[in-house]
Amino acid sequence: MSYLTFHHNSFYFQIRVPTALAATFGPIIRINLQTSDRATARPIALRLASDWLSRFDVARGQVLAIPAATYGPSAVAIPSPTHAASMMEVVPYVGGAAPDCTELATSGRSTTRIAERATDSALFDTWKSIDRGREPSTVREMQASIREFRRFCKAPAPELSRQDVAGFRDHLLGKGQARATVSKKVGFISTLLQVGFDAGVLPQNVARGLKIPRAKVPTLVRRVFTTDELKRIFGSEVYTRQYRPIAGGGEACAWLPMIALVTGARLEEIAQLRTDDIRIDAAHGPLMRITDEDPDQHLKTDGSRRMVPLHADAVRAGFLDYVDAVRDARQKWLFPDLERDHDGRRGGNFGKWFGRYLRSRRGLGISDPRVVFHCFRHTFKTLCRAALIPEDVHDALTGHVSSSVSRKYGEMPLGPLVAAIAAVKLPIALPRVDV
């Protein structure tokens, strides 16, 4: 197949630019199609070839006359098969034959309006088709960013300027949105425009490399729980009066905070535990396995996969008794009453409930916006440092990945992890939770 080359497990479209236009476009156009499937890459390459040949014609002033009544004033004319063949200079596919100009011309005749492929919806569809395995939450975030951008700027994608995107950035910052949030939204717009540029329907990506200035007010940083706050959490009616709200996932509202405090695990890692992820090892005692073996389990990084010894205080609080009770009920999930959110996360709705419970007067009355469920993870890391646990050991406990080359070799044995957990001294006594 012409216009295709295979490199580093991905197909690339490439076409040599006519010599007279090299100063404008460079000597060669090469685009990563982000697929290793030839059947997927082939039609994309044909469309790109058709589009680029049309752009070369426009640049050389050799556009064929097409009635405006047929295609509209913004239409880009497509060269005839004979003309397309006469001007085409390509880099052949390695090991392949010369390009099939007839096939290219046939594809070109179907591309009558490049502008139609530069609409937000068309670019979004192309972006989505490049990777059909994206998380639903990422797709929704892209859609939301496009909608927000369009409320600020109405200019079509081919007419956007860098000032338009910079204005959108400044608009978001002016509304007080966090720098990380603004960066993500502008990044989505840049990604969308890059898709159009790579597909040859946009002349450039005007958002590429746009910087997000440092916020004048420091970004909100999560902090550790104070001893008083921990006393309020584990002395609340969840533990003293068996308060079990539906939004809190039943028994999950008692165990998730406790397990987070004694292991430093992320909310979703705990919420998606199965009953067989808790096990008793003859040599090392009770262990909690963080894994993605089940299709409904997901991890943040590959380094998140790990074994975490259970703290003796959690065992004394009755956690293993709870595990046995759930197993006896023949439940697959350790916290079966947790309801998935719209992204399929078992901990999503619980996190929202916990945030409300932290702030409410009936709940804990902790108003500091820096205090969220993730603070348990910060607290655990602090307790590890207070116990003088080596960084590589408490990183192994929490699933943090180091950039150190030496840390990428070998595995952390369970022995040091068990000793580390035993060295962690909790600032409060955990309450007993009866099954």
Concatenate the DSSP letters of all residues of 172-185 into one string: HHHTT--HHHHHHH
Q: Residue holding tokens 């550790």?
A: 224
Distance between CA atoms of 310 and 289, rounded to whole angstroms? 10
Residue in 94, 100, 88, 187 with CA at minimum distance from that of residue 145: 187
pLDDT surpasses 90 at 398? yes
- Per-residue model confidence (pLDDT) at position 112: 39
**Structural domain boundaries of the chain?**
4-112, 118-198, 227-423
Average per-residue pLDDT for the chain? 82
pLDDT tens digits along 91-123:
332 333 333 333 333 444 333 355 577 899 999
Q: 227-423 maps to which CATH number?
A: 1.10.443
pLDDT tens digits along 9-33:
788 888 888 888 887 778 888 888 8
- Per-residue model confidence (pLDDT) at position 421: 96
Q: Is 30 helix (H, G, I), strand (E, B) or coil?
A: strand
Architecture of domain 118-198: Orthogonal Bundle (1.10)
pTM here? 0.58
